[in-house]
Structure 1
Amino acid sequence: MTSEKTVLITGTSSGIGLATAIGAARAGWSVAATMRDTGKADALLKAAAENDVAGHIQVKRLDVADPESIATCLDEVIAEHGRLDALVNNAGAGHLGTLEQESVQDVRAVMEVNFFGVLNVTKAALPLLRASKGRVVTVTSVGGVIGQPFNEAYCAAKFAVEGFMESLAPVAATAGVAVSVVEPGAVASEFVSNVGGRDTALEQAGPYAPALRAYLARSRDAFAAAQTPQGAAASIVELLETDQPAFRVQTSEAARAFTAVKLNDGDGSAVQALTRAWIA
Structure 2
Amino acid sequence: MTTTPRTVLITGTSSGIGLAAAVAAARAGWRTVATLRDTTRTDALRKAASDAGVELDIRQLDVTDEVSVAAAVDGVIGDYGRLDAVVNNAGAGHLGTLERDGIADVRKVMEVNFFGVLNVSKAALPHLRATGGRLITVTSVGGVIGQPFNEAYCAAKFAVEGYMESLAPVADTLGVSVSVVEPGAAATEFVNNIGIDLQAGIDAGPYSGALRRYIDRTVEQFREGSAQTPAAVAEAVMEALDADRPAFRIQTSDWARAFVATKLADPDGSAVQGLTAAWVA
Q: TM-score, normalised by structure 1?
A: 0.91
Deviates more, 1:20-29 or 1:189-198: 189-198
User: Is the 1:130–1:177 contact (alpha carbons within 8 Å) kept by the matching residues of 2?
Assistant: yes
Alignment match, 1:118? 117
Contact 1:95 1:198 in 2 (8 A): no
In structure 2, the gaps of 5 or more residues are: 267-281
Task: Name 2:130's counterpart in structure 1.
Answer: 131
The Cα of 1:221 is off from its aligned counterpart by: 2.0
Q: Which amino acid aligns with 2:229?
A: T
**1:245-260 counterparts in 2 under 5 A?**
245-260=246-261
CA separation in 1, counterparts of 2:200 and 2:179? 33
**8 Å CA contact retained: 2:198, 2:215:** no
Distance, in Å, in 2 between the alignment partners of 1:257 and 1:199 is 27
What is the correspondence of 1:46-195 to structure 2 with a 5 Å cutoff? 46-54=47-55, 57-195=56-194
Work out the CA distance in 2 between the residues paired with 1:144 and 1:201. 27
Q: Structure 2: how far apart are the matches of 1:113 and 1:212?
A: 24
Equivalent position SS for 2:179: strand
- Counterpart-to-counterpart distance in 2, 1:253 and 1:221: 19
**Contact 2:8 2:32 (8 Å CA) reproduced:** yes
Q: What is the count of residue pairs matched by the alignment?
A: 262
TM-score scaled to structure 2, two decimals? 0.90
Write the distance in 1 (CA, Å) between the matches of 2:19 and 2:75: 20
What is the 5 A alignment of 1:6-45?
A: 6-45=7-46
What is the CA–CA distance in structure 2 between the aligned matches of 1:72 and 1:201, rounded to whole Å?
Answer: 41
**Cα distance between partner residues in 2 of 1:156 and 1:164:** 12
> What's the secondary structure of 1:207's corresponding residue?
helix
Partner of 2:75: helix, strand, or coil?
Answer: helix
Cα gap change, 1:197 to 1:102, in 2 (>3 Å): farther
CA distance in 2 between partners of 1:26 and 1:107 (Å) = 37
Q: Which runs of 4+ in 1 moved over 4 A?
A: 197-202
Question: 1:236 is aligned with what amino acid?
Answer: V
Could you tell me whether the CA contact under 8 Å between 1:35 and 1:60 is conserved in 2? yes
Q: Could you list the runs of 5+ residues in structure 1 that have no partner in the other structure?
A: 266-280
The separation in 1 between residues aligned to 2:154 and 2:126, in whole angstroms, is 29
State the Cα deviation string for residues 187-246 of structure 1 (Å, max 9, x = none). Answer: 001011011455699532111111001101111221130000000001001110111010
Task: Using the TM superposition, give the Cα deviation of residue 3 of structure 1 relative to its aligned residue in structure 2, in angstroms.
Answer: 1.1
Q: Which amino acid aligns with 2:48?
A: A
Residue aligned with 1:231, SS: helix
CA contact (8 A) 1:6 1:31 kept: yes
In structure 1, what residue type is equivalent to 2:212?
R
Is contact 2:93-2:190 (8 Å) kept? yes
CA contact (8 A) 1:5 1:84 kept: yes
Partner Cα distance (1:157, 1:201) in 2:
26
2 CA distance for matches of 1:36 and 1:69?
9
For the aligned residues, what is the CA RMSD? 1.5
Q: Which structure is higher in helix share?
A: 1
CA gap of 1:200–1:98, structure 2 versus 1, over 3 A, is farther
Residue aligned with 1:40, SS: coil
Asked whether the equivalents of residues 36 and 59 of structure 2 are also in contact (C-alpha less than 8 Å), the reply is yes
In structure 2, the CA distance between the partners of 1:200 and 1:111, relative to structure 1 (3 Å rule), is: farther
1:237 aligns with 2:238: yes
Deviation string 1:133-159 (CA, Å, 9 cap, x unpaired) is: 001000000000000000000000000
Q: Which residue of 1 aligns with 2:270?
A: none
Shift of 1:264: 4.5
Identity of aligned residues (%): 65
Distance in 1 of aligned mates of 2:260 and 2:160 = 16
